[in-house]
Each structure stands twice: as C-alpha cells, then as structure tokens.
Amino acid sequence: MSKLVNGYNAVLISADVTVGQNIDGCKNDIGKNGQLTIWESENLHPGRKYIRFQTADHSVEIQTACGDISISNDIFEISTQSGANTYRFKLLEHIQTIDFRMKLPERYWHICNGCGKREFLSSKEAFEQGWDYPGPDGIYKTMPNYGFGTIAPRTCGDCCIAMDKLYLALATKSESVEEVMREEKETLERIQNEPWSLMESEEDMGGEHG
C-alpha cells in the first residue's frame, strides 16, 4: 500500500540511468514537462519514497523504486538502485494532491525469469509453491526480500537462482552484463514498473498460466 505525498508540475532536466526501462530512451526525454508525484511506501519499505513522472503529452511515464530524495533551490533529485539511477527535475509549481492509498491486490502475477512461467498467486501461495518473489508479506524462499522494482531473483519452484540470467549477470558483474540487459529489456521494464506491471487481472492477461 502506498500513500500519495506530494505533486508538482515539473521538467525532467537529467536522467543518469544504469538499470531499468529508460536506459535507451531517457536522454530523449530530457526537457519534457509533466506531472511529478511522490509516493510513500507503507508496507514494503515503510517511510521510503519513490516517484512517478507522466509527461504532459502522455508519451513518457517513469516510475522509480524507493530511493534517496533531496530538494534544493527547486531542483528535485531521486537516486535509486544503490545510486545507479538518478533523476533530476526542475519544480515549476506545487499541485493539489488528494490523500488516497494505492493497494496491491491479494493476488498478482508471478513471472519466472528462468522458464517464463506465469502464475496468478498470493505471496503465501507463491511461497508454498517454492517461488522466490517479492511481495507484501515479505516472503522470499532463499533471498532477502529486496521489494518491488529492484533487480533480485524472480524464479518459480522449478528454477534455481542461477537460471535467472538477468540477476546472475548483475550479481556476478559478468563481462556480458550489458548484452544480457539488452536481451532482457522486457524483463527490466517489467521489474522497473513493479508492482503495477504485475497487477493486471487474470482476465486481462487472458487467464494464461505457464
């Protein structure tokens, strides 16, 4: 569950991105005007904040993982992924925000980065089936729960961590990490957009499994 903290009309003035969906296109988005909203995580990372940025023409939407936020002289900065990603915005004006909370449903999509299996599960069901996956209950089979939006193992009960090609390349600092990140672009985008990328209904996704 997340609480909307603040909102601004803002301009993206820089984006230094190493991990996530905006690696290739972020430089083209510099200078775009849009709405910047700041959210506070209440369950996964209590007190930690992340942002969403939607351009005025709706052509770009950036959502970060939780990170370190600073505001100085109307310049807003958030640094995420242990400093790998840094976004800066020029704040133009404050906008009115409504106090509401965004709640993750009990069941959401679990997608294995090893074999590609998709299952519509709760965290408890996933744990019982042997998944390594972030969730609102902090359940993880073999690793710490780093939470949504962070590169960490996402595997089903039939796959081991070594089968998660993206995580393994980053964890071992493989020389082929850039090639792997290009190959796994869709996976990077899905993780960067969590939990929203996992929240489509079972019907919206065609009710597919495996």
In a domain, 189, yes or no: yes
Q: How far is residue 189's CA from residue 163's CA, in Å, rounded to a whole number? A: 19
Q: When comparing pLDDT for 104 and 153, which is higher?
A: 153
In a domain, 85, yes or no: yes
With 70 as the cut, is the pLDDT of residue 26 above it?
no
pLDDT in tens, 32-72: 998 898 888 876 677 888 898 888 877 777 888 888 999 99
Number of domains within the chain? 2
In a domain, 74, yes or no: yes
- Which of 82, 101, 120 is the endpoint of a domain? 101
Contacts by residues 153-156 (CB-CB < 8 Å, ≥ 24 positions apart): 153/113, 154/110, 154/111, 154/112, 154/113, 154/191, 155/112, 155/113, 155/114, 155/131, 156/110, 156/112, 156/114, 156/115, 156/117, 156/119, 156/129, 156/130, 156/131
Domain of residue 84, residue span:
2-101
Query: Are 12 and 97 contained in the same domain?
Result: yes
| Whether 100 contacts 179, CB under 8 Å | no
pLDDT in tens, 3-25: 778 889 999 999 888 766 554 45
